[in-house]
Amino acid sequence: MDSWENDEAIQRFREYLRIPSVHPDVNYDECVEFLKRQANELQLPVVVHEIMPGKPVVVITWKGMEPQLPAILLNSHMDVVPVYKEFWTHPPFEAKISEDGYIYARGTQDMKSVGMFHLEAVRRLKAAGVRLKRTVHVSFVPDEEIGGEHGMKVFAQSEQFRALNVGFGLDESCPTTSTKVIRAFNGEKTNRQSKVTCRGNPGHGSLLLPNTAGEKLHYILDKFMKCRAGEMEKQAQGAYVGDLVTINLTQIEIRKWCTEAGEDVTFEYIRHNAPVKITKIDESNQFWTALLCAVKEMGYDVLCNVCPGTTDARFVRQQGIPVINFSPILNSPVLLHAHDERIHVDVFRQGIDIMEKVLEAVANI
């Protein structure tokens, strides 16, 4: 316990975790002040962009020896999802360390840990007198957990973002139960939310009328469930969820189904995100090969898939910038958004070790 209490990196992490930047109606002031102090300790410039009122984007910059080269972006989000305190072993914003070495707090996995991996990697490299070729921007953005519309989306489209000259980015992936393989993502599934409307022949409930809305709805639901069953079968055979169509009122054939169901059946998209090109993970992407080489030199490996959900990385990819989602949290239960979210202190330290080597590799290309 004494070694944990005396570890400055762990104490900085715990201080960050204690800031209740939780939805709804997040106030980011404490996060901003905390990050400004980190920048001052590191003797690095920090800029707070507030493109949307009350939605600050904090960027800490470490200038490289060759600043004309495209920069590296290390991105994380400051906000966390709601908690239900009655289901937690320890208070979710106390950041208590249990006797067996787990830090319990909302954000330990998603994703304040990764933000601190980024900062602590910079801190270690600077303390060792390392100078990197490329400039490194460490960004902390708001509102990822509610879609990022007023966070990374507007920031990535801004002149302030373009001025950063980003050439490659890292963002969040997810923990893994493996002790040797890190889960990474090079793209994301496209989210399509739709609304189906069925209109039919109205009449008294005691009658059996033809061409009712219920009959049409039954047809549509039957199609959905049959497709969903097919995807479930693939999953049972070992397919990764990022490679499956997870059907929750979202399937490209829906227009045809509505036509087949009969007249007066329509649908509309509530959310229709445009497809975003995935980041290449072959020799054409020098950042990927450098990352993979650094990880393997440490005795680990990377399994890269399409993310089954969405992250802020999609907004950066939309600008034509390659991004790898990379959270080096090994040997951990996956507790994103869950009760008793936690990370072991040794896993946290390990994550800093890995991020330090990865950052040095990608920023020296």
Residues acting as catalytic residues: 79, 144
Which residues lie closer than 8 Å to 264 by C-beta, 6 or more apart?
198, 199, 200, 216
d(CA 205, CA 193): 32
CB atoms within 10 A of CB 19: 21
Look at residues 290, 28, 281, 270 and name the one whose alpha carbon lies nearest to residue 142.
28
C-alpha neighbours within 13 Å on the C-beta side of residue 38: 31
d(CA 345, CA 127): 22
Beta-sheet pairing, 55-62 with 136-141: antiparallel
Strand order in the sheet with 96-97: 96-97, 102-104, 342-344
40, 134 Cβ separation under 8 angstroms: no
d(CA 63, CA 273): 35
